[in-house]
Structure 1
C-alpha cells in the first residue's frame, strides 16, 4: 500500500487534498500536514507519527512538500532515512494526480519519475500556445 502525505506551509496541503478529491473522488490514502507560524517541530513530528501509526507496516510513503529548503521540507527530509519513504518538493497538481491515480501499477521509483515528468509538462505558458494555434489557423 502507498500513503501520500502533503506537508506544506499554511493551508496549501489541505487545498491539494481537497482538489485531488474533487478530481479523483474520495481518497483514503492521502493526508495533510500544515506548518503555520506557531506550529512547533514537535507538533509536525507528532502528526507524522499519527499518520504512520494508522498504516500497515509495509506501507510506502510519498511526502509531497512545497518548497526546497523550506522548514517543512527539511523536517520531512529528516524522516526519509527509511527505504519506504520518498520526499518530493515543488509539488504541483499534475504531479499529485499522476502519483495518486497511478499509484499501484508501477514501482514507486518509476512512478515518482513519471510524476515529476508530468508535473514539468503541466507547466505551460498558455499565451504562447494560443498564439501558435492562431498562427497555424492563419497558415491554412
Structure 2
C-alpha cells in the first residue's frame, strides 16, 4: 500500500488534512507534518521517524514549495528511503493521488497525475475573456 506524507511549512498540512477528511473521510495511509511551528519538534527528526516507521511500504512525500526548506529536507532522504517526492502540490493533485485504487503508484501514474494537476491552475479572468470572444 502506498503511504503519503504531506509535509508543509506552518499549518498548511492541517488544511490538507481537513480537506481530505471532507472529501474522502479519514485515511490511515496519509500522514501530515506541519514543519517549523513548534520549537519542541525538529522537522527533520519527525520526518525521519515517520519514514522509518513506513519504510516497508511505498512512500510518497508531498511538499508545498519546490526549493523550500521542507522540500530540500525531503529530497535529501530520497535515496535513504527509496521514496518519491512531489512538490508544489495542490488539492486536486493530493486527492487524485491518495484516492488512486492501485496499491502502488507507478512513476508513469505519478507523472500523469502531476500533469493533470498542472491543468487545474487557471487564471479565470482570461478564461472568461475567451468565452466572451466566442
**TM-score, length-normalised on structure 2?**
0.84
Contact 1:94 1:122 in 2 (8 A): yes
| Aligned alpha-carbon RMSD (Å) | 2.4
Give aligned pairs, total. Answer: 134
Alignment of 1:122 onto 2:120? yes
Q: Offset at 1:32? A: 0.9
Alignment correspondent of 1:45: 44
Contact 2:62 2:87 in 1 (8 A): yes
Q: Which runs of 5 or more residues in structure 1 are unaligned?
A: none
Deviation at 1:89, TM superposition (A): 0.8
Q: Which runs of 5+ in 2 are unaligned?
A: none
Distance 1:3 1:116 in 2: 17
Alignment map for 1:3-82 (pairs within 5 Å)? 3-36=3-36, 39=39, 43-55=42-54, 57=56, 59-82=57-80
User: Distance between the aligned counterparts of 1:53 and 1:113, measured in 2?
Assistant: 25
- Indicate the structure (1 or 2) with the bigger Cα radius of gyration: 1
CA displacement at 1:106 relative to structure 2:
6.8
Alignment-derived partner of residue 93 in structure 2: 95
